[in-house]
Amino acid sequence: MKIRNLVLIVLAISIFSGSCKNNQKKSEVKEVEPGTTVLSGQLNNYKGNIIILKTISGIDTVYIKNDAGDFEKTIKTNSPIYVDFINDNNNLILYLLPEDELKINADCTDFNKTVKFEGKSQPANEYLNAFIITIKNVGINSENFIYSSKLETFKTSLQNLINQLETGLNDFSKKHNKEFEEFINLERERIKMLKASLMISYYNPILRTDKKNADFEKEIETAIYSVDMNDTKLLMFSDFKNIGMNVINYKMNIDLRKTRRELKSAPEYTEMFFKYVNDIFTEKDIKEEMYYVFIKEFLNYYGPESVYEAYLDYKNFTSSRERLSELDKIFEEFSKTAPGKECINWKFPDKNGKVYSLSDFKGKYVYIDVWASWCGPCRAEIPYLKALKEKFKNKNIAIIGISVDENRNDWINMLESQNMSGIQLYAGGWNNDLVNFFKINGIPRFILLDKEGKIINANAERPSGNIEKIISSLEGI
């Protein structure tokens, strides 16, 4: 299994176009209860009916009150917090102060450029909006930046961006250092994290080739270690876990290159991943946070078997009964797909409309490939899948492809262009019995069932992995 390259451009959030108009008269500031902050305002021309608020603690939903786009949300906090404010394709990073009301007025036909804020944290939020606009304007996702074939071009573009961001923060600091000293210090860390993340994003594809640039690797290490990954204040950033994941995957890639090996299974990957979690995150609160968020994420992506050992480690040091209870419930839910449990009797059509169900294959082993035409890793498995079908074409096993493409024509075109034969079924998207039963959140996903339709492995090896040996060892194959 190739390492999952979650090389995210973190802490820049998602950069969207737009600006806002303020058609509101300045209103009176009302008293805010102790231990809370109020977020309110108006989004003109907003076609949706909800706003997503994301913090390190989780995700909350705010409902638009009326056609004018009015909204209001009281948030419990005794200290300053960061909030990602997401409405459709518009995005803000907000900095909220306790016992304050931050008002946001915007015209959603054009969002970031002229968004208006009112409240004690207004200067900080104007800075953060300018931060987003700066990143958007440099064109990170271009051949002159992250996709440049020339390292020096990338380094020049990166340094120009960092210079702009540091200039903007220095200008803000000159005006507001006394009232926003902690905010300014955090934003300096944000810029350092962004720099390290972009360097990793650029270099990770190179790591997967025979090329090597020792000098640039030293620069990446310097950028990584410029950030104190055990500073608990960085937990204020909702995307702090992403920089952690980027750093871990980078270090894992370096390690795997040195040892000339490749991870073949999800348990191998997660074992190595959590080893680096322990090495990098030594501060108790940060270590607990990283274990918690990564166990939850990997549970959904790789299944409970892959993270069970990490969960046992987590139980030994966490002090959060609430989180343990939550994870216990998740593991209990996943126990329904444990080895030996009955698989749901799904039913899906092939391209000619003939409907197949699991029960049609009773008496045969079943190997299921859940995939989609748009999924790169899924397409990478196609040659291995063809070889596997040829190897076992006269054996007692059905190898079945089940597509979660939303567009049926995309599925048909892929079948034809790749000459994909055998039993190919169409699930019509993600919302179906099979996906829901196995709680599939990432593809490709492979499932191995016995001759009675019972689960052997709900997260089986890929065709490119060790599955041929596993199938060959099955009794009566």
3-state secondary structure 204-250: HHHHCCCCCCHHHHHHHHHHHHCCCCCCHHHHHCCCHHHHHHHHHHH
Question: For the segment 264-305, what is each residue's pLDDT rounded down to a tens digit?
Answer: 778 889 999 999 999 999 999 999 999 999 998 888 777 788
Question: For the segment 15-34, what is each residue's pLDDT rounded down to a tens digit?
Answer: 333 333 334 334 444 567 88
Mean model confidence pLDDT for the chain: 89
- Nearest CA-CA partner of 262 in 208, 310, 324: 208
Q: Which residue has the tokens 């340094």?
A: 159
Does the pLDDT value for residue 13 go beyond 50? no
Does the pLDDT value for residue 309 go beyond 60? yes
Given pLDDT bands bounded at 50, 70 and 90, which one contains residue 2? very low
Does the pLDDT value for residue 1 go beyond 60? no
pLDDT at 30: 57
Does the pLDDT value for residue 91 go beyond 60? yes
> Please, which residues have CB within 8 angstroms of residue 161's CB and are 6 or more apart in sequence?
134, 135, 138, 140, 198
- Nearest CA-CA partner of 401 in 416, 413, 385, 417: 385
Helix, strand, coil percentages, rounded to 5, for the chain: 45, 20, 35
Answer for the pair 115, 92: CB distance below 8 angstroms, yes or no: yes
pLDDT at 48: 83
Domains in the chain: boundaries: 11-240, 347-472
* Percent of the chain clearing pLDDT 90 (strictly above): 71
Strand order in 423-426's β-sheet? Answer: 423-426, 397-403, 365-371, 445-449, 455-457
Answer for the pair 190, 11: CB distance below 8 angstroms, yes or no: yes
Mean pLDDT of 456-468: 90
> What distance in Å separates the CA atoms of residue 450 and residue 398, rounded to the nearest whole number?
11
Mean pLDDT of 71-76: 93
Question: For the segment 195-215, what is each residue's pLDDT rounded down to a tens digit?
Answer: 999 999 999 888 877 788 999
pLDDT at 335: 85
pLDDT at 32: 72
pTM exceeding 0.85: no
Select 347-472's CATH number: 3.30.1950.10, 3.40.710.10, 3.40.50.720, 3.40.30.10: 3.40.30.10
C-alpha distances in Å from residue 335, one per residue of 27, 307, 309, 345: 54, 13, 15, 18
pLDDT at 177: 92
Q: Which residue has the tokens 């419990």?
A: 76
